[in-house]
């Protein structure tokens, strides 16, 4: 049986990107045997470099690139590497029929490449939230075709987007509200505050173990959760921009002007505030959680006190949980499970790639 060859252009080679490459290599036999598909990497990029090979990289070459990136290497400094700033001309060198562009970066640099891929009717797979949480016009442009998949933009590999699109909206259900805890970082913060740990130490530890964005303010300021809420809201048809999302920050707004190091040094100033808040909340038999809410044309993200029986409370330390209340599902439909981690997120990206491959 001849294999369908799918050319992959991957933008981003951080933790998720490297895990994805490894999973593609590990599953080649399975993909060939069960799906009749060969995923063929033809281009890899990081923040300022690109390596392109029109015939496709061997698995040995891919291993060299990912190993080098693990050691903080840069693609532009590797053999056949070149400086790259997002120039879409690279796409002109790809002559393959079936192409998927994968954005596992954490940058808005890939947006022109994604737009050009959409114009060429190529597949697009996004783990990067920034393009979909940018302007409403850009969101509509990128998602107007089902050849764009973005399951991992909200809760890693959890089937949140597919549940909402395929099993609810596409079948005519009317969504009344979406509530959820979708920030792994803030789940950790809330649950460790209950153990009387200091707010500053929780954030420092989470950052040291890679559980936050490079700038923890993306998490602690609620911006990451707000982007996820906005993506869900837009899928419901709410014509919202990012500025329309009400997001509660867990630190003073003026700290946004600080460097990351200065921000980290200021954190102990918040320890007493959150220790007191946690103690008061527990004394009322309530639990602190950072919650997104999408309903009635609006969305917000905020720190809330929830009853112990609330659907959002039963999530464990590493879990995300979403509650979809609709005409058909009241009480809500619950999607719950691990919602973070490079290998988990990569598995969700790979699932999106394989679904697109079977559509091509």
Would the pLDDT of 44 be above 90?
yes
Would the pLDDT of 316 be above 80?
no
Nearest to 293 by CA among 232, 250, 242: 232
Q: What mean pLDDT comes out for the span 6-21?
A: 96
Would the pLDDT of 302 be above 70?
yes
Query: Residue 48 in contact with residue 83, Cβ under 8 Å?
Result: yes
Would the pLDDT of 45 be above 80?
yes
**Binning pLDDT at 50, 70 and 90, where does residue 72 land?**
confident
Would the pLDDT of 259 be above 70?
yes
The predicted structure's pLDDT at residue 2: 83
Would the pLDDT of 90 be above 90?
no
Q: Which of 63-72, 169-178, 242-251, 293-302 has the lowest mean pLDDT?
A: 63-72
For residue 127, give the 3-state DSSP assignment.
coil
Packing angle of the helix pair 184-193, 199-208 (nearest 10 deg): 140
- Rg of the Cα atoms in the chain: 21
Backbone angles phi, psi at 86, to 5 degrees: 100, 10
The predicted structure's pLDDT at residue 89: 84
Would the pLDDT of 315 be above 70?
no
Q: What's the chain's average pLDDT?
A: 94
Instruction: For domain 169-339, give the fold.
Output: Dihydrodipicolinate Reductase; domain 2 (3.30.360)
Would the pLDDT of 150 be above 90?
yes
pLDDT-above-90 percentage for the chain = 82
The predicted structure's pLDDT at residue 70: 86
Query: Residue 340 in contact with residue 211, Cβ under 8 Å?
Result: yes
Would the pLDDT of 135 be above 70?
yes
Q: Strand 298-307 vs strand 246-247: parallel, antiparallel, or unpaired?
A: parallel
Would the pLDDT of 318 be above 70?
no
The predicted structure's pLDDT at residue 179: 97
More reliable by pLDDT, 317 or 151: 151
The predicted structure's pLDDT at residue 217: 96
**Binning pLDDT at 50, 70 and 90, where does residue 317 land?**
low
Q: Which residue carries 């950052």 as its tokens?
A: 207
**Binning pLDDT at 50, 70 and 90, where does residue 1 land?**
low
The predicted structure's pLDDT at residue 211: 79
The predicted structure's pLDDT at residue 55: 92
pLDDT 10s digits, 113-123 = 999 999 999 99
Domain regions of the chain by residue span: 4-156+343-359, 169-339
Query: Residue 153 in contact with residue 171, Cβ under 8 Å?
Result: no
Q: What mean pLDDT comes out for the span 44-67?
A: 93
pLDDT 10s digits, 197-244 = 999 999 999 888 877 888 999 999 999 999 999 999 999 999 999 999
Three-state secondary structure of 328-360: CCCCCEEEEEECCCHHHHHHHHHHHHHHHHHHC
The predicted structure's pLDDT at residue 223: 96
The predicted structure's pLDDT at residue 37: 96
- CA 355/CA 331 separation, integer angstroms: 31
The predicted structure's pLDDT at residue 85: 85
pTM for the structure as a whole: 0.94
CATH number of 4-156+343-359: 3.40.50.720
Nearest to 177 by CA among 272, 89, 297, 70: 297
Q: Residue 1 corresponds to which tokens in the numbers above?
A: 């049986």
* Residues listed for the chain: 360
Nearest to 359 by CA among 91, 124, 80, 109: 124
CA terminus-to-terminus distance, the chain: 17
Residue 101 CB-density burial (10 A; 0-12 exposed, 13-18 middle, 19+ buried) = buried
Q: Which of 17-21, 169-173, 186-190 has the lowest mean pLDDT?
A: 186-190
Query: Residue 261 in contact with residue 319, Cβ under 8 Å?
Result: no
Please enumerate in sequence order all residues whose Cβ is within 8 A of that of 260, keeping only pairs 6 or more positions apart, or say none: 214, 215, 216, 217
Q: What is the dihedral of CA 39, 45, 51, 57, to 10 degrees?
A: -20
């Amino acid at each position: 049986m001849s294999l369908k060859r799918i050319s992959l252009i991957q933008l981003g080679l951080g933790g998720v990107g490297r895990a994805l490459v490894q999973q593609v290599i590990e599953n080649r036999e399975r993909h060939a045997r069960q799906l009749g598909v060969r995923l063929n990497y033809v281009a890899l990029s990081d923040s300022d470099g690109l390596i392109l090979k029109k015939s496709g990289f061997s698995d040995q070459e891919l291993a060299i690139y990912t190993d080098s990136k693990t050691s903080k290497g840069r693609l532009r400094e590797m053999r056949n590497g070149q400086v790259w700033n997002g120039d879409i001309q690279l796409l002109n060198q790809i002559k393959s029929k079936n192409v998927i562009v994968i954005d596992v970066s954490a940058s808005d640099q890939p947006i022109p490449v994604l737009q050009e891929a959409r114009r060429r009717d190529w597949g697009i797979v996004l783990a990067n939230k920034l393009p979909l949480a940018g302007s409403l016009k850009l969101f509509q442009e990128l998602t107007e075709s089902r050849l764009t998949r973005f399951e991992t933009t909200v809760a890693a590999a959890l089937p949140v987007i597919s549940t909402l699109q395929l099993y609810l909206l596409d079948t005519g259900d009317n969504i009344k509200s979406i509530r959820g805890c979708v920030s792994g970082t803030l789940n950790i913060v809330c649950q460790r505050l209950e153990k009387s740990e200091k707010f500053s130490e929780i954030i420092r530890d989470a950052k040291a173990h890679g559980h936050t964005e490079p700038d923890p303010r993306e998490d602690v300021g609620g911006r990451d959760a707000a982007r996820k809420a906005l993506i869900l809201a837009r899928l419901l048809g709410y014509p919202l921009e990012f500025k329309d999302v009400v997001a509660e920050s867990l630190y003073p707004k003026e700290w946004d002007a600080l460097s990351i190091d200065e921000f980290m040094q200021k954190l102990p100033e918040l320890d007493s505030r959150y220790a007191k808040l946690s103690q008061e909340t527990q004394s009322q038999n309530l639990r602190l959680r950072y919650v997104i809410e999408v309903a009635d044309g609006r969305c917000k993200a905020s720190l809330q006190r929830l009853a112990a029986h609330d659907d959002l409370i039963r999530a464990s330390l590493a879990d995300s949980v979403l509650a979809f209340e609709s005409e058909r599902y009241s009480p809500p439909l619950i999607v719950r499970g691990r919602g973070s981690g490079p290998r988990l997120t990569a598995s969700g990206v790979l699932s999106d790639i394989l679904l697109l491959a079977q559509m091509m």
